[in-house]
Chain A
Amino acid sequence: MAVIICEAAFDPWQAVQNHQNSQLADGQYGATATFVGTMRDFNEGDDVCAMTLEHYPGMTEAQLEQIIDEAKNSWPLQDALVVHRVGEILPGEPIVLVACWSAHRAAAFDACRFLMEALKSRAPFWKKETLTDNSQRWVEKNTDGYSH
């Protein structure tokens, strides 16, 4: 299980590959579920050209580790990885990766969804957008994570 907070741009697919190669044994898992959140260049009807992601060092890691513990207690997970960007971010860059490994797909799918939704509601990160006229605004709420 790993939590990584990074200030530099990261490649989520490389992070999955690296974690799998270093932490998981071939043949021990049958399912990998991943979620990648990427920065858009639009929000609430406006063009967005950059974003600053602030976090609460120490609490962020503690909350994410707590959330992973809850997932481990609810599903038979082989492993989980959460990577989250902070600092200055540009459209097209990945913001977050959640990856879950398990023997069968149910646990990987469900735990991945749980981790992402719990991160969105409990991990102390805040987004500040820069619009094309150089004005800035805080994002004040999350969109609904479910489509129904």
Chain B
Amino acid sequence: MTVNVKFFASMRETLGQSELRIDIDTDTEQTVAGVWAQVAGEKPMPDNTVCAVNHTQATPESVVKDGDEVAFFPPVTGG
């Protein structure tokens, strides 16, 4: 399956990319944490990382499906 992955703010700068499309093995159920492992390799997900799937806040355990947009970013600081 194909997943669109986005990074924002300091996470975008740390990883050196803002957006990429990845193909994932569909034999097993995929989670947000699995997507992170695929795109960040050995780099562990920082403790304060916020995850989102299709514009809704999610957790590392959230299931990811074909065509989903998964985003990783630091705590928000707007307003």
Bound together, the chains give a CA A119 to CA B79 distance in angstroms of 7
Per-position 1/0 for A99-129, Cβ under 8 A of B: 0000000000000000010011111111110
Q: Restricting to B28-54, which residues have a CB under 8 Å from any CB of A?
A: 50, 52
Are A141 and B9 within 8 A (Cβ)? no
Nearest to B6 among chain A residues (CB) is A56
Are B79 and A128 within 8 A (Cβ)? no
Q: Please tell me if A92 contacts chain B, counting CB pairs below 8 Å.
A: no
Q: Please tell me if A53 contacts chain B, counting CB pairs below 8 Å.
A: yes
Q: Restricting to B1-36, which residues have a CB under 8 Å from any CB of A?
A: 6, 8-10
Are B78 and A59 within 8 A (Cβ)? no
Per-position 1/0 for A65-101, Cβ under 8 A of B: 0000000000000000000100000000001100000
Are B79 and A140 within 8 A (Cβ)? no
Are B73 and A126 within 8 A (Cβ)? yes
Interface residues on B, range: 10 to 19
User: A56: which of B10, B71, B75 is its contact (CB, 8 Å)?
Assistant: B71
Are B75 and A54 within 8 A (Cβ)? no
The residues of B that contact A58 with a CB separation of less than 8 Å are 55
Bound together, the chains give a CA A124 to CA B43 distance in angstroms of 23
Bound together, the chains give a CA A128 to CA B10 distance in angstroms of 9
The residues of A that contact B74 with a CB separation of less than 8 Å are 126, 138, 140
Are A54 and B79 within 8 A (Cβ)? no
Q: Please tell me if A139 contacts chain B, counting CB pairs below 8 Å.
A: yes
Are A96 and B79 within 8 A (Cβ)? yes
Closest CB of chain B to A99's CB: distance in Å? Answer: 14
Closest CB of chain A to B79's CB: distance in Å? Answer: 4
Known: A59-B71, A124-B8, A138-B9. Contact between A84 and B55, CB under 8 A? no
Q: List 19 A-B contacts (CB under 8 A).
A: A37-B79, A53-B78, A54-B8, A56-B52, A56-B71, A84-B79, A95-B79, A96-B78, A121-B76, A122-B76, A123-B78, A124-B73, A126-B8, A126-B78, A127-B78, A138-B9, A138-B10, A138-B74, A140-B74
